[in-house]
Structure 1
């Protein structure tokens, strides 16, 4: 019986090759420093209103993470490109789609599990696919993303990727695959923060598990994941998915202060929840929950549903993610670091 080509490589050499590959991937990452939470209304040169939610330096250059409060698209912009709007901008922000969503979905009554938005606000003809990438050592569900991309027939298919920092930092090849799928126009990804560590202990009750575990640093879990996304040239969206969908009132209020909308699900397939128009489908793309993927693949391949960008669930225009022209050097949701100027 013939041996695999990898079997002819000495174990140490194989380990060294993998280590060097990982180091090379890390070396390509930008350095994010001085990362701060802000909430400042700004506008671009055309007068389009944005909300700056983070300030930081990328390889020493000041930049802003900003959100369009009506389309819910997010942008990584040079800090000197937007114009500060002052008090008038702050008053106008209170009537925007983002402000309404923050007030609605981060408010009581608080549920231990599956709080926040779980379904489209209005009637829509389509579904919202959300794919969780929790920390995992199991094989990546590549077929899931290929089947999703196949729905586009040449157009980018919207999908929300709920990504944890630990998964992102330990899966450079899989991340490269997703970046290539975006660059080639196959997928339009909304990058959703799924916390950095995504702690989980199957022996501990929900009220003391996931992000409710004693000793959890909330700001680290949220902001470190955002920094990591930005370092890889990926723009965080104004959405957040709680690990295990587990949260409490304190966490909901914290997300509101961070300008993040919590995203739950009414169609967690592995738990037997069937999708209907407007559903937030939840599956895992990290190999941790193959049952969900097994149930989803026939839906994608046989029923060919219309998938919508997550922002459309809140009344934003249901079109593939395509940021409007801002000042030079801006990157929109789903764009890659190669477009940073």
Structure 2
């Protein structure tokens, strides 16, 4: 009898457990571009509207710092500024510059710092994978900034998020503990890839791909988990085309390429966007990254610092 009552008490907790990793249920998600200000008067641009547990929210970006925030719509007031105002901001200029033609099939967008950056930008791709998570990479990076959070851009896919709850919890815990400062970068939902198909019909360029859904579905999943999407996007395989770039421009996103994909033998220089895979799919890149991160002369910088004011 005691066991019966014990089960009655814990059963609601067990059935609710899968939802505790989420910040809230996201609905009515849509793209927009509206000038707003927060309660302090700071000028922001709302780039998405949605409801979180039925409460209206906005995904907003500070166009000067390129930082993004999930804020209740009730905390924002509209500003009177036209579309030209957006394109005059640091964010607007970066979007326009890096989604403009000519369009390269591979590695379009920003590939390294526009500024005279005294350091490197570590970008870690988390594509769909069943292999072990490369926790050692993040631990090595953390040793570079004892006492402060080390900046890292995590390029995450929806399928990886869905299948790696423990790893997501680890990353969130490192952020909460002040050891990591993560910029969450959209890497598409499915990250489709067929090794038998040419690049021009592969990844997001595969026939039948819903580009908008690939972008917006991932954003919703991040927000549902209490993670705020940045205004950056990395194309799977670094493969893109005109339609994909035009969509990013419409969605106020800056495409992020790389000039130091370590597993391909590309050597990082000051200002480089270093690309490694933290999902176990590319151990060569990790083997090359670990000695670099354990060096005393390496300085990692947050991704927004790569873009000119």
Shared fold by TM > 0.5? yes
1:82 paired residue number? 76
Contact 2:87 2:96 in 1 (8 A): no
After TM superposition, the runs of 4+ consecutive aligned structure 1 residues lying more than 6 A away are 20-23
* Uncovered stretches (5+) of structure 1, i.e. residues with no partner: 1-19, 317-341
Residue 136 (structure 2) pairs with residue 140 (structure 1) = no
Contact 1:25 1:172 in 2 (8 A): no
* Uncovered stretches (5+) of structure 2, i.e. residues with no partner: 1-12
Contact 1:22 1:172 in 2 (8 A): no
Equivalent residue for 1:50, pick from 40, 44, 48: 44
Give, in whole Å, the separation in 2 of the partners of 1:148 and 1:304.
13
Report the alpha carbon displacement of residue 22 of structure 1 after superposing the two structures with TM: 11
Contact 1:151 1:304 in 2 (8 A): no
Give, in whole Å, the separation in 2 of the partners of 1:217 and 1:315.
32
> TM-score, normalization: structure 2?
0.93
Give, in whole Å, the separation in 1 of the partners of 2:82 and 2:77.
11
Residue 248 (structure 2) pairs with residue 263 (structure 1) = no
1:230 paired residue number? 223
Report the alpha carbon displacement of residue 80 of structure 1 after superposing the two structures with TM: 1.1
Report the alpha carbon displacement of residue 44 of structure 1 after superposing the two structures with TM: 1.6
Give, in whole Å, the separation in 2 of the partners of 1:108 and 1:227.
29
Residue 308 (structure 2) pairs with residue 315 (structure 1) = yes
Map 1:228-307 to 2 at 5 A.
228-307=221-300
Q: SS of the counterpart of 2:294?
A: helix
Give, in whole Å, the separation in 1 of the partners of 2:227 and 2:99.
25
1:59 paired residue number? 53
Report the alpha carbon displacement of residue 138 of structure 1 after superposing the two structures with TM: 0.3
Give, in whole Å, the separation in 2 of the partners of 1:53 and 1:93.
11
Distance 1:23 1:207, change over 3 A: farther
**Pairs aligned (count):** 296
Report the alpha carbon displacement of residue 74 of structure 1 after superposing the two structures with TM: 0.2
User: Which deviates more from structure 2 when the two are superposed, residues 136-145 or residues 28-37?
Assistant: 28-37
Distance 1:217 1:116, change over 3 A: same
Contact 1:138 1:286 in 2 (8 A): yes
Contact 2:140 2:294 in 1 (8 A): yes
Map 1:95-244 to 2 at 5 A.
95-244=88-237
Distance 1:75 1:271, change over 3 A: same
User: Which deviates more from structure 2 when the two are superposed, residues 302-311 or residues 190-199?
Assistant: 302-311
Give, in whole Å, the separation in 1 of the partners of 2:129 and 2:292.
25
Report the alpha carbon displacement of residue 303 of structure 1 after superposing the two structures with TM: 3.8
Contact 1:43 1:50 in 2 (8 A): yes
Report the alpha carbon displacement of residue 89 of structure 1 after superposing the two structures with TM: 5.4
1:15 paired residue number? none
Report the alpha carbon displacement of residue 95 of structure 1 after superposing the two structures with TM: 1.2
Report the alpha carbon displacement of residue 26 of structure 1 after superposing the two structures with TM: 4.1
Contact 1:63 1:79 in 2 (8 A): yes
Give, in whole Å, the separation in 1 of the partners of 2:134 and 2:297.
19
Report the alpha carbon displacement of residue 244 of structure 1 after superposing the two structures with TM: 0.1
Report the alpha carbon displacement of residue 82 of structure 1 after superposing the two structures with TM: 1.2
> TM-score, normalization: structure 1?
0.84
Q: SS of the counterpart of 2:31?
A: strand
Contact 2:144 2:296 in 1 (8 A): no
Distance 1:89 1:80, change over 3 A: farther
User: Which deviates more from structure 2 when the two are superposed, residues 21-30 or residues 159-168?
Assistant: 21-30
Q: CA RMSD in A?
A: 1.5
1:321 paired residue number? none
